[in-house]
Structure 1
């Protein structure tokens, strides 16, 4: 299962996960910085990747929400605002095993919110 890390998370975070043997890529490996979210979501879906992002607005914007559904994207939305770099790393590492499990067994499209603390990953509705 490959995870695709969006622009609102650091390329170094993706590289660190990859360095530990995880199948993770960063958006900058495939797209320019100003890529349209619908184009990105189409690629993520067609490749069968799972999106990891902090941009919760994606699921509320009609075009992006439609792209998630149309392209059967699995998405993990990292919760928490204004987290420091160390907190983001802890959030991802703490929840990584469960994210991999959910990605493998959940029918797409799906969306989960990854909490900034604790480990209660919750399913969230995709906007209409």
Structure 2
């Protein structure tokens, strides 16, 4: 008698490899839908509110993120134009991805990030920090000059 294979995926099939970088979700990019979607694919992530107060200056959390080797996901398109934030980005070797379609819904953002997640991780692993990329609603990931 042969065993039937379950069609249900086990949690271990969704777990990211142990060396997968943590995705730090800036408060402007966070939604419960995004958290649920990342959990579903087994992506390690930390939302801003789990580590920092809402009013925490960006330079402070950028320092912590850079020191931890986490990858930033943000909607803040001006992060590269603000001198203090850009300085922290460079000084602490941050790798960041900027969602450039500000009008995307939480559901659209969650779908986009989970769809491009493997590509995002490959880009992050394949570049020397600091580095910044834009992510379009179509899923294109493009380097941003720092």
State TM-score, norm by structure 2: 0.81
Count of residues in correspondence between the two structures? 125
Alignment of 1:40-51 (within 5 A): 40-51=61-72
Aligned-partner Cα distance in 2 for 1:18–1:65: 30
Query: In the alignment, what sits opposite 2:7?
Result: none
Question: Does the 8 Å CA contact 2:41/2:114 hold for their aligned counterparts?
Answer: no
CA distance in 1, matches of 2:48, 2:36: 12
Q: Distance in 2 between matches of 1:70 and 1:60?
A: 15
Report the equivalent of 1:3: 23
| Higher helix content, 1 or 2 | 1
The secondary structure found in structure 2 opposite 1:65 is helix
Check 1:27–1:70 CA distance in 2 against 1; reply closer, same or farther (3 A cut). Answer: same
**Conserved? CA contact 2:27–2:47, under 8 Å:** yes
Segments of 5+ residues of structure 1 without an aligned counterpart are none
**Equivalents in 1 of 2:37, 2:113: separation in Å?**
11
Return the alpha-carbon distance in structure 2 between the equivalents of residues 10 and 109 of structure 1: 22
Measure, in 1, the Cα distance between the counterparts of 2:35 and 2:81. 25
Match of 1:77 in 2: 98
Separation in 2, partners of 1:19, 1:53: 20
The two structures have a TM-score, normalised by structure 1, of 0.91
1:89 aligns with 2:110: yes
Tell me, which stretches of 5 or more residues in structure 2 are unaligned? 1-20
- How far off is 1:56 after superposition? 1.1
Residues 95-123 of structure 1: CA deviation (Å, up to 9, x unaligned) = 11110101111110000001111x32100
Runs of 4+ in 1 over 4 A off after TM superposition: none
Query: What is the deviation of 1:93?
Result: 1.6
